[in-house]
Amino acid sequence: MSFGNYLELTDPKVMRALAHPVRMAILSHLHEAGPATATECAKVTEESPSACSYHLRRLAELGFVEQTPSGDGRERRWRLLISGYGIPKEAQDRPEILAAMRPLTRRWIEDAQRVVAEYMRREPRFEPAWRKAATFQQTNPTVTPEELIRIGEQIQELFAPYQERQEHPEGAERVHVSFVAVPWPPKRRSGRRPKTRRSTHRGKR
């Protein structure tokens, strides 16, 4: 991806450092709420302000955040420096990258599950238009590894214009979108070529 300040991770040490749940929670909060203090981050992460201050300094060392001047000069606020991050496919052949990816990927999945679960809990409070727009889709195509990589790239290309635009139309809100595509585990595979199932979805008809 090329939009914004997107960071490609290729250093296993950075991946392992980033996989800490408090650090990922802090990054998510800064992305959602904008610049924040360690005390404000502590309320979200349920950690102490001193612990969040430590993690913010570590994130600054990694290049993910920086301190931003406050109005009174006393408050220490931190802002996000990146729009997103990921691991390029060409780096994923290295065993040390794959090993560092696993805990980071688990954190990504856990975070996505948390966001969806929170939406479902609060769904009745959303306006009908947003409840209708919310989409849950699943399909099971038969593809090669190269085709699956291309599908992921096409999805990135599809969302890039919405990530890059500075002016947002009236009624626009930030939404959570996650894409997960993995081969069926061996025990779920059959000896014959599976047929592509029709997509199942909710919120679009």
Q: pLDDT, tens digit, for every residue of 157-168?
A: 998 888 777 888
- With respect to residue 26, please indicate whether it lies within any of the assigned structural domains: yes
Closest CA to 4 of 170, 156, 173: 156
Q: In sequence order, what are the residues at sequence separation of 6 or more whose Cβ sits closer than 8 angstroms to the Cβ of residue 114?
A: none
Q: Print the domain residue range for 60.
A: 6-137
For 9-38, the pLDDT digits (tens) are 999 999 999 999 999 999 989 988 889 999
191 has pLDDT over 90: no
Residue 73: the pLDDT is 65
Q: In sequence order, what are the residues at sequence separation of 6 or more whose Cβ sits closer than 8 angstroms to the Cβ of residue 183?
A: none
- With respect to residue 198, please indicate whether it lies within any of the assigned structural domains: no
3-state class (DSSP) for residue 114: helix
CA distance linking residue 93 with residue 156, whole number of Å = 21
192 has pLDDT over 60: no
Residue 189: the pLDDT is 61
Domain tally, the chain:
1
- With respect to residue 164, please indicate whether it lies within any of the assigned structural domains: no
Q: Which CATH number do you get for residue 18? A: 1.10.10.10
| Overall pTM surpassing 0.85 (yes/no) | no
- With respect to residue 202, please indicate whether it lies within any of the assigned structural domains: no
3-state class (DSSP) for residue 69: coil
For 79-115, the pLDDT digits (tens) are 999 888 889 888 999 999 999 999 999 988 988 898 8
- With respect to residue 82, please indicate whether it lies within any of the assigned structural domains: yes
- With respect to residue 54, please indicate whether it lies within any of the assigned structural domains: yes
What mean pLDDT is reported for the chain? 86
- With respect to residue 16, please indicate whether it lies within any of the assigned structural domains: yes
- With respect to residue 204, please indicate whether it lies within any of the assigned structural domains: no
